Each structure stands twice: as C-alpha cells, then as structure tokens.
Amino acid sequence: MISNPTIILSLRQQWAVVTRFCSNSHSQYMSSCGSFINETPPESFFNLPLLLAYGVLDQVLEELVEQGTVPKPSGKPSLGTRMIASCGVIPWKDYDCVDNGRGERNDLAHEGKLLDREACFRFISAVENELKAWHIL
C-alpha cells in the first residue's frame, strides 16, 4: 500500500518500539549488594505505547494521502480527518474500534485522561491489525 520502502522501514522500526514497550513489562534481578528487585511498570505506563501506536497510524495515513492513495481531507489535517478520508478507499478491519481508540488517545493527549492497561492493549492491537492488513507490518 505504501510504495516507498524507506518509509515502510521507518514505520516498522517505530512499531518495534511500541511492541517493546508492550512486552517485557516485568523484570526481576538481584542487585550487587544482594537485594532482590522486582519491577513492574504502573498501569499508566501503557498509555505511552498507545500514543506511539496512534502516531504510527497517523504517519501511515499521512503517507497514503501524500502518495495519492487516500484523498486529501478537507479542513484541518488530523488523524481523525485522515481516517474519515480513508474510508471506502482502504480496507479497514475494525474502523470503529480504532476510531474509539483515537478518541481515547485524544483525551489522553489533550486532557491527561489515562486508560488502564487492558484498554491500551485493546486499541494498540486494533491498530496493529490494520497495519498488518495493509502490509505495513
């Protein structure tokens, strides 16, 4: 779907960060002085890969607009307007879930409303499913 291999590589590298942040979320180790350290990130940590996942999606749609696959959205360019412009042009597996996640992402980014881990993973997974279907990942 995206014709530029350099852009695809960049998007895949960015997605690798999302994946890394979603895995290995628990670590244990012994310090040099013999203390056992157990680290588990707080629930709010997973809001970071959620933001990054929607950033990747936004870049994908922006590139599809630039190469002419998706029509240029009317009004102020944003993830939401790009998503709307892409409907009927590219195949969405679960547009509604991704769009709901976009709304939650906006609440997080603009109002500081945190999501729990489960919600973050649900929306990240929905974005990942789209990127796989579009042969980005």
> Structural domain of residue 108, as residue ranges?
5-134
Tell me the per-residue pLDDT of 63-116, one tens digit each, with 9 for 90 and over.
Answer: 999 999 999 998 889 999 999 999 999 999 999 999 999 999 999 999 999 999
Question: In total, how many domains does the chain have?
Answer: 1
Distance in angstroms (rounded) separating the CA atoms of residues 41 and 27: 9
Tell me the per-residue pLDDT of 25-76, one tens digit each, with 9 for 90 and over.
Answer: 555 556 667 676 656 667 789 999 999 999 999 999 999 999 999 999 988 8
Report the CATH number at residue 34: 1.20.120
Contact indicator for 82, 70 with CB cutoff of 8 Å? yes
Calculate helix-pair angle for 5-22, 117-133, nearest 10 degrees. 160
Beta-strand ranges (E) seen in the chain are: 27-30, 36-39
CA geometry: angle 77, 89, 78, nearest 5 deg = 15
